[in-house]
Amino acid sequence: MAITPFIGTIHGKRTKRGILPLSDRVWKLIEAHFTLNDKLGIAARTIQDILKRVAQRAGISKPVSTHVLRHTFAVNCIKKGISTRALQQFLGHDSPITTEIYLSLSPEDVIREYREKW
């Protein structure tokens, strides 16, 4: 999946900001939305409801939330070798210690990494 040169900024809690890389597909959807609308205009609850419906359609039986997506993104970044410092920027953490929460890997992941790198 190609990542567009555009990197968005996400405004989080208080004054925190994260970096958001956007795929070409997502960027086109956002562009289309903003050609018709001046602002996003979607409440947090609406996004949560959409997420749950999409998960049901996909046959995902585990609980899904925006927090679960964020955590899954972070863990996958670590598995793909993205540095902790870059992940810290994506997530908008002030301290690398906060980002280290996502560094724990399953025993299977540890064995896989060992086999790939040894």
Q: What would the DSSP string read from start to end of 74-89?
A: HHHHHHTT--HHHHHH
pLDDT at residue 10, as a whole number: 57
Low-confidence ranges of the chain (pLDDT < 50): 1, 3-5
Q: Quick one: which of 86, 92, 87, 97 has its CA closest to 16?
A: 92
> b/e for 50-69, b at 16 or more Cβ within 10 A?
eeeeebeeeeeeeebeeeee
pLDDT at residue 33, as a whole number: 75
Q: Distances in Å between the alpha carbon of 108 and those of 3, 7, 105?
A: 29, 33, 8
Residue 38: CB partners within 8 Å, gap ≥ 6?
none
pLDDT at residue 3, as a whole number: 46
pLDDT at residue 56, as a whole number: 92
pLDDT at residue 4, as a whole number: 45
Delimit the domains of the chain by residue range.
1-41, 43-118
What burial class does residue 91 get, using C-beta atoms within 10 Å of its C-beta: 0-12 exposed, 13-18 middle, 19+ buried?
buried
- What's the CA gap between 48 and 24, in Å, rounded? 23
pLDDT at residue 14, as a whole number: 61
